[in-house]
Amino acid sequence: MTHHVRRLILSFALVFGNGVLAQTWQTLSNVPVLTRYNDVYFVTAKLGWIVNGSGQIYRTVDGGASWQKQFDESRAHFRSIGFLDAQHGWAGNVGPGEFGATDSTTLYHTQDGGQTWQPRNSFIGPKPRGLCGMHVVNDSVICAVGRVRGPAFFARTIDRGATWRAQDMSAYAAGLIDVYFFHPDTGIAVGLTNVTHNNSSGVILYTTTGGQTWEKRFTTTRVGEWCWKISFPSHHVGYASLQRNSATPIYILKTTDGGKTWQEKLFSSSYYFVQGLGFVDERNGWIGGNSSFPSYQTKDGGATWQSAGFGASMNRVRFLGDTLGYAVGRTVYKYTRPATQVAAHAHETPGAFELAQNYPNPISARGLANAGTTIHFNLRQRSTVTIKVFDVIGREITQLLHEAREAGEHVARWDAADREGNAVRPGIYFYSVRADDFTATRKMIVME
């Protein structure tokens, strides 16, 4: 069989008894009724926080079944939140002049899991007037940007919030709304080119110096729109939503080379108010924001979209892995999917090389109960199989397998450790399985 004929066929069958279950979103009950929640952040499958424009912060310890209000500052408008671990977290306020906010405190932080929150207004460099987007990069680094109507600022801590350095970004953008970093040095910020939104285009900035210097990587070809949210389901493939207050058509942006170049992709020829965006993998994603109509979903990487039937006013989508995620808007929405299984009968040779998503995912850190994860794969024929684990910037962490295996179903186990046996840090990792000419890669998350 030639190299051109031999191609990878990936199976994502979700098997339950004799049927197949699709991924589902559930609208959670028992969420306090408000106009809108702006951001959500979970550090484990059960423990998470939500924030809103009324200056409130809520926590759940049971996966969203119940919520406890931890903080209430009516002068603030919280647009972003992130936690380094179960105790240490930060919430970003958009600041005076935005959506009725009068509180000049840019950041609030907690050191006790949200039981108490303290203002943080000291920055090395000019203080940002407000912060809209926040990304927890690892257990020490957090990046944040602001704001939706300007001025544009970037802020960053590399010492778990002990100090924050900020810089004026007006040379690159009029305002910044969201931020995503692959690595402490390499990241993307998105926003707008003009504080008068009718005259604005969307802009994407790129840095490889930890935010010290930036370059424009893309500016949209229309006015009356701006970039709103970022979603990177893999290191190479990413998406950005584009908000418009009026006019059509509506586009999104997509990259397949880690944010170096971007393409505009049509979302809708009819008007739809777009804000929130989230992809669980490179092909399956959701987009929302409209207060009157539910969100939309794509199964082909943004080429086509269909109504998803949930999620009015959706503003933020965050996944904790391939089987669990949360989104916020008018209320809180929870994504669940049964663990992927490779369907194969014991007496049959699989029809193709098949790689399932590891389970469990997210993974508990080494040393905790139920630590580690299992990788299932099927071989069509006897093959030499190599399985390696990489971090988010492509560095090899360990090799799990390199040997010949017979046709059929096989498993490999990873205990969340590197090649020396040291526990890896919480974060995003990838495992790559190569069987002769076939190669496939999946994302997994190690949590605190």
Q: Residue 420 has what pLDDT?
A: 83
Domain 22-336 matches domain 354-447 at the CATH topology level: no
Q: Residue 2 has what pLDDT?
A: 30
What is the mean predicted confidence (pLDDT) over 196-206? 96
Whole-number Å distance between alpha carbons of 234 and 446: 15
CA dihedral 240, 245, 247, 251 (to 10 degrees): 10
- Which phi and psi (to 5°) does residue 114 adopt? 95, 0
Give residue-wise pLDDT tens across range 184-196: 899 999 999 999 9
Q: Which two tokens stand for residue 6?
A: 């031999």
Q: Which two tokens stand for residue 143?
A: 């990046």
Q: Residue 358 has what pLDDT?
A: 82
The half-sphere exposure of 17 on its side-chain side, counting CA atoms within 13 A, is: 2
Domain boundaries, the chain: 22-336, 354-447
Q: Which of 10-14, 116-120, 202-206 has the lowest mean pLDDT?
A: 10-14
In this structure, the number of other CB atoms found within 10 A of the CB of residue 150 comes to 22
Q: Which two tokens stand for residue 221?
A: 């070809």
Q: Residue 370 has what pLDDT?
A: 52
**Which pairing describes strands 296-298 and 285-287: parallel, antiparallel, or unpaired?**
antiparallel
Q: Residue 256 has what pLDDT?
A: 94
Q: Judge contact between 329 and 276, C-beta under 8 A.
A: yes
What is the mean predicted confidence (pLDDT) over 86-109? 94
In this structure, the number of other CB atoms found within 10 A of the CB of residue 173 comes to 30
Banded pLDDT at 366 (limits 50, 70, 90): low
Q: Residue 295 has what pLDDT?
A: 95
Homologous superfamily (CATH) of 22-336 is YVTN repeat-like/Quinoprotein amine dehydrogenase (2.130.10.10)
Q: Judge contact between 170 and 152, C-beta under 8 A.
A: yes
* Residue recorded with tokens 């190479």: 236
Whole-number Å distance between alpha carbons of 338 and 356: 12
Give residue-wise pLDDT tens across range 233-253: 888 899 999 999 999 999 999
Query: In CATH, what is the architecture of 354-447?
Result: Sandwich (2.60)
Q: What is the pTM of this model?
A: 0.77
pLDDT reading at 339 higher than 60: no
